[in-house]
Amino acid sequence: MSGVKRLGRGLMMRGKYLRMLVEGRKSTTVRLGRLVPSSKIVTLYSGGRPVARALIKGVVHKRVSELSDLDARRDGFASREELLRELERVYGRRVRGDEYVTIIELEVISRVGDAPPWARPDFDPRPVAEWGLRRAEELGLSDEEVAILRKVLE
């Protein structure tokens, strides 16, 4: 497929749509273009902050003209027309019928607030590893534990 873009490990969503997904009132997100996920698990962001982790259950590519009311309802809209209006608003331009969209089916598997700090997608373990190495002797760390901390810093 030409014109395909890779989808990273994160997906930005407007707050209201992310809430609908977390609450189970929508199960997909429709994006302009042909996107291919690079991972089955993505971090969902809103306002630049990680909010949840989701499993990508499916990906469908179709033309805008092929979108149905069912596609719209799964994305939290009452109708195809409402979905198209929102796509035009979000992308800031008219959406043509021959353009491709990617429908990504998602299942929220955890909320970032549910995870301990070290399990959050935005957690950087390097400062903790540096702290541990500086205090390795007083903490009584084994050679193996020190080696692990050094690996974290590589």
Domain with residue 74: its CATH number is 3.10.400.10
Task: With respect to residue 23, please indicate whether it lies within any of the assigned structural domains.
Answer: yes
Residues 69 and 138 both lie in one domain: no
pLDDT in tens, 75-117: 999 999 999 999 999 999 999 999 999 999 999 998 886 655 6
Q: Which domain holds residue 133?
A: 124-154
Residues 24 and 94 both lie in one domain: yes
The structure's pTM equals 0.71
Q: Return the number of other C-beta atoms located less than 10 Å from residue 2's C-beta.
A: 4
pLDDT in tens, 3-39: 889 988 899 999 899 989 988 899 999 999 999 998 8
Helix (H, G, I), strand (E, B) or coil at 78: coil
Residue 77 and residue 79: Cα distance in Å, rounded?
Answer: 6
